[in-house]
Structure 1
């Protein structure tokens, strides 16, 4: 499996493309905006989009899901159904955060922890990691030791928990019980900012080493 990061929206959200090297089938994770930029990135690698994946229902991650699905005709998978209220409120989110007006959407498939997502010859594991939002999911490719963690974890920081139905203790538990057991060597793509790995964050992230967590 290969990947590319396509920063989108004024929030510089890390929209991510995963693809199967053999079949050139691809998924786009968290198309928050800038549909043309995403489509161009797919074309540049001669990829065929087969699914849209969503980690959680915040607008900078999901604002362009409806538009990309309309353009491509592909199914939408994720997040967990506990984020339904965020997705249904997408038009209100666009006003709240000063985004262009966007549509809500109904995923083709809501995801749960333990589910699998497949494209080409690639299989991703789904982990339910609430805390930032109640329905947040993470996508993990075990053979590559690579995870797309959305806004659960960042280099040196963690996701905000001051939005509706966010919870700090739940977020810390998701990181320590769902992500860190995957192994220190696992690299992750966060929703914003540079990549890191779980070992680095387990040892040095101040929110997880006991200083704030």
Structure 2
């Protein structure tokens, strides 16, 4: 099993869980969803002794992607993800920042769009890419089977699910993404979500009022 370290750095006024995933063997790290507060993210990299190798995006809402262009430039990092279905969200980042009172941000073009069944590499760690539309059409989840860990962005939360009232959100699609693509990975899979505390797929399958096996 390839050892990893994970640090969650809450960023922006929305307390979005930017996550640094580091391969302990190589010290290579991916920055997942750098929504803003770049200085806090770089401080955490230094604290871990991590060498950032790429940015990974689950989706392109402002609180997840707002710091991407700046961080990619500063650290000379490639950007991988999300799925191309979120292109319109990336193109609209300046409007999103104005709407929500964020600092002005630049758009960017990912170096690699991701699709279902793709893989991304972080040092010696391999993450499987799962396309999980519903919250946004291009949302992806990153899953490391070895360590039974998933990074689910805003698809699923501890006790809740992602919003679907934004442009091109789709509630039935979101439910299908969770129940047909995530829950089958196993009850013991821990997940880090875009906001709030971690949980496991098993806990949510039992207790989450939106997607549990027992929902009305």
Q: TM-score range by the shorter chain?
A: over 0.9
TM superposition score normalised by structure 1: 0.98
TM superposition score normalised by structure 2: 0.97
Work out the CA distance in 2 between the residues paired with 1:17 and 1:82: 24
Pick from 119, 132, 136: which aligns with 2:135?
132
Work out the CA distance in 1 between the residues paired with 2:206 and 2:197: 17
Work out the CA distance in 2 between the residues paired with 1:176 and 1:186: 14
Instruction: State the match for 2:63 in structure 1.
Output: 60
Instruction: State the match for 2:160 in structure 1.
Output: 157
Residue 175 of structure 2 aligns to a residue in which SS?
helix
Runs of at least 5 residues in structure 2 that lack an aligned partner in the other structure: none
User: Deviations 1:159-182 (Å, cap 9, x if unpaired)?
Assistant: 000000000000000001110011
User: Deviations 1:17-57 (Å, cap 9, x if unpaired)?
Assistant: 00110110000000000000000100011110000000001
Pick from 74, 77, 81: which aligns with 1:78?
81
Work out the CA distance in 2 between the residues paired with 1:120 and 1:132: 29
Moved over 3 A (4+): none
Residue 117 of structure 1 aligns to a residue in which SS?
strand
Residue 124 of structure 1 aligns to a residue in which SS?
strand
1:137-148 equivalence runs, <5 A: 137-148=140-151
1:211 to partner: Cα distance: 3.3
Pick from 69, 90, 93: which aligns with 2:93?
90
User: Deviations 1:144-200 (Å, cap 9, x if unpaired)?
Assistant: 100000000000000000000000000000001110011000000010000000000
1:96 to partner: Cα distance: 1.0
Instruction: State the match for 1:211 in structure 2.
Output: 215
Instruction: State the match for 2:196 in structure 1.
Output: 193
Instruction: Give the root-mean-square deviation of aligned CA atoms.
Output: 0.8
Work out the CA distance in 2 between the residues paired with 1:10 and 1:130: 25
Work out the CA distance in 1 between the residues paired with 2:139 and 2:123: 24
Instruction: State the match for 2:186 in structure 1.
Output: 183
Work out the CA distance in 2 between the residues paired with 1:177 and 1:156: 18
Residue 14 of structure 1 aligns to a residue in which SS?
strand
Work out the CA distance in 1 between the residues paired with 2:111 and 2:70: 15
Runs of at least 5 residues in structure 1 that lack an aligned partner in the other structure: none
Work out the CA distance in 2 between the residues paired with 1:35 and 1:24: 20
1:121 to partner: Cα distance: 0.6
Work out the CA distance in 2 between the residues paired with 1:47 and 1:64: 19
Residue 206 of structure 1 aligns to a residue in which SS?
coil
Work out the CA distance in 1 between the residues paired with 2:151 and 2:107: 23
